[in-house]
Structure 1
Amino acid sequence: MQKQARKQITLYSDGSSLGNPGPGGYGGILEYKGSRKEYFGGEEETTNNRMELRGVIEGLKLLKEPCDVEVVSDSSYVVKAINEWLESWIRRDFKKVKNVDLWKAYIEAAAPHHVHGTWVRGHDGHPENERCDELARNEAERIKASL
C-alpha cells in the first residue's frame, strides 16, 4: 500500500493586544492549493504574545488530517519557539517559560502535523500578514468596544 503524501498547508497568523495586557485578538489564514480560509477570535484580557500563539493554535485545530504546515508569522517569539526553543522547554518541564498553558495547547494541536515556522517582517507589505493583522486588530477593537 502506497503512503499518501501529506497536504502542504501554509498557516498565516498574527495577534494584537490593545494594552499589554488588555483586549486582544488573533487572525489567521489557512492556505492550501490556492484555497483560503480566514479565522479570528480574541479575549478580553490578554497579551500580544498570547494572541500571536493563540492564532497558530486555532489554525492548527482547524486542520482535519495530518499535514505539513508552514506557520508564517511576524512574531519572532512564536517562530523561534516552534523552530528552536520548544524541545528544550519540554526537557526543562517549562521552567521559567511564560504562557505554558498555551504552549501545551500548541503541542497538542501540532502533534499530528509536521510544523515549521517562517518569520516575516510585520507591517512590511506582506499581503497575508497584513490581512491577519487586520483580522486581529478588528477583533481586539470589537472586544474592547463590548467591555
Structure 2
Amino acid sequence: MIEIYTDGASSGNPGPSGAGIYIKSASEKYEYSFPLGEMSNHEAEFHAILKALEVCKKQFPGEILSFRSDSKVAVDVIEKESTKNQTFQPLLEKILTEASNFPYFFIKWIPEKNNGHADRLAREGIRKN
C-alpha cells in the first residue's frame, strides 16, 4: 500500500496556487511540487489529488492507494462521489476516473498539523508560478 499526502494552497483566493504531494512507499519517500496557476484554494486541493493520481499511475501502477488530505471539502466530495458545485464536478469526475485505474483507492481527512510535508511542497508550487 502506498500512502499519499496531498495539499493545495493559494496565495489569495483565488490567486497563484500550488500542489504538494508527499508519498511514502514501503522503502522510499517521494516529494513533488507543482505550480497550478490561478485558482481558489479548494480547487487547488482537488488539483493536488489529481496530480498525485497522475504520479501514481506512472510510478505505482496496480498498487493500493491510501490518500490523506486536510481538505474536508475535497475528501467529502470524493467520498460521496457527488457535488452540486459546478467548479468541482469536472474535477471529481477526473479523480474518480483516474482512481478507477487502481485496485483500491482510499481517501481520508487528516488534521492540517499532520500534513506538514505536503503543505510545504504546495507552498513551493506557489513560488514556481
Partner of residue 120, structure 1: 110
Inter-partner Cα distance in structure 1 for 2:40 and 2:85:
17
Per-residue CA deviation, residues 24-81 of structure 1 (Å, 9 max, x unaligned), is 0010012110311111212221111111111111111122412211111101112212
Query: What one-letter code is carried by the residue in structure 2 that aligns with 1:118?
Result: K
Contact 2:70 2:109 in 1 (8 A): yes
**Equivalent residue in structure 1 for 2:10, among 8, 12, 17:** 17
Inter-partner Cα distance in structure 1 for 2:92 and 2:69:
16
Contact 2:7 2:70 in 1 (8 A): yes
Partner of residue 67, structure 2: 71
Inter-partner Cα distance in structure 2 for 1:138 and 1:100:
27
Contact 1:67 1:112 in 2 (8 A): no
Alignment of 1:68-147 (within 5 A): 68-83=64-79, 85-86=80-81, 89=82, 95-113=84-102, 114-122=104-112, 124=113, 126=114, 129-143=115-129
Contact 1:14 1:73 in 2 (8 A): yes
Query: What one-letter code is carried by the residue in structure 2 that aligns with 1:53?
Result: F
Structure 1, unmatched stretches of 5+, are 1-7
Structure 2, unmatched stretches of 5+, are none
Scaled by the length of structure 2, what TM-score is found? Answer: 0.86
Larger of the two Rg values belongs to structure: 1
Sequence identity of aligned pairs in percent?
26
CA displacement at 1:95 relative to structure 2: 4.7
How many residue pairs get matched? 125
Contact 1:42 1:51 in 2 (8 A): no
Scaled by the length of structure 1, what TM-score is found? Answer: 0.77
